[in-house]
Amino acid sequence: MSIEREIKLALPPHQAEAADRFFAAIAGAPGRDVPLANIYFDTASLALAKAKIALRLRKTPDGWLQTLKAAGTAEAGMHSRHEWETAVAGEALEFDALAAACDDAAALAALRAAAGELGERFRTGFTRRLWRFEFDGARIEAAIDRGEVSATLDGQTRTEAISEIELELLQGEERALRALADALSAKVAGLSPENVNKAQRGYRLCAK
């Protein structure tokens, strides 16, 4: 289990280049583009969402990963959640491996109860431009995500654009994340805290 701590900021699309320049200047190098395709699973009655957990398959350039994220907090753009992640062979969940990795009794119980009824509910697809650098004594991963979330209901596909920044704390104190977000906001106009994550946006599309 790991605890994911990150700040999410909504990024006006026309400010993506300014944010890119900001991170490249700190890192001393251009960002690395990583295409990510994600499939989110739940029961027809959305049992996992009701238990405040999210289950995802992610295709990366290096292979497939499955991730379970438990209930967390989000305030002023700062997100904190427990997560469990394991590699998988392909585009299919490997339930036993995920259950073995999860050490949260409530999340594991919800996952086991839903296991026989899971199906795809929505997808996200985006390109993540990625930097890693030291800032204010902390190790931080900065990302610009641009793409879309989509859900198909009754034969109709609904989509919503993704344009956001994620600042993830890899090592160090949370104050460094906030200091970086403040410095970024001083250089890139129009940023705002994003308290709704991608999974929540997908569920919101499912409910429309």
Task: List pLDDT tens digits, range 138-197.
Answer: 999 999 999 999 998 888 999 999 999 999 999 999 999 999 999 999 999 999 999 888
pLDDT in tens, 96-133: 999 899 888 888 899 999 988 999 999 999 999 999 99
Question: DSSP assignment, residue 76?
Answer: T
Q: Is domain 2-207 classified as CATH 1.10.600.10?
A: no
pTM score, whole prediction: 0.91
With a pLDDT cut of 90, the percent of the chain lying above it is: 78
Question: Which amino acid, 178?
Answer: R
Return the half-sphere exposure (C-beta side, CA atoms, 13 A cut-off) of residue 136.
14
pLDDT of 205 above 90: yes
* Residues contacting 198, CB < 8 A, separation 6+: 38, 124, 149, 162
